[in-house]
Amino acid sequence: MSDKLEGIVSPSIDNLLDKEFDAQKLSKYELVIFAAKRARQINDYYSALHEGSLFNNVGPLVETTIDEKPLTIAMHEIDENKLDLTRVAE
């Protein structure tokens, strides 16, 4: 088995549920919606990158590799406290 687990198990859901956003803890359902919205934003960024229009989209806020999916990137951003709950909700 590999030493470093990747994908949806890294970062662990338990660690993400312990994070506070705007002085509140998110339920697991709110966390899923929060991560999904950010993943859509990242996906839109990559789509716009191919079209040459990057003005309306914010790219990944953490170091990524080419094989990482937008949801994984969003989870890493949440884990590293790079996101503001109110801005992603827009």
What would the DSSP string read from start to end of 1-15?
--SS--GGGSS-HHH
User: What is the structure's pLDDT at 3?
Assistant: 55
pLDDT of 2 higher than 80: no
What is the pLDDT confidence band of residue 1, given thresholds at 50, 70 and 90?
very low
The torsion of the CA quartet 16, 26, 77, 69, rounded to 10 degrees, works out to 80
CA–CA separation, 83 and 86 (whole Å): 9
Q: Nearest-5° angle of CA 90, CA 61, CA 72?
A: 85
What integer best gives the mean pLDDT of the chain?
81
In degrees to the nearest 10, what's the CA dihedral of 63, 67, 72, 74?
50
Tens digits of per-residue pLDDT, 33-64? Answer: 999 999 999 999 988 887 777 677 788 999 99
C-alpha to C-alpha distance for 82 and 78, rounded to whole angstroms: 6
Instruction: Report the amino acid identity of residue 53.
Output: S
Q: Average pLDDT of 56-77? A: 89
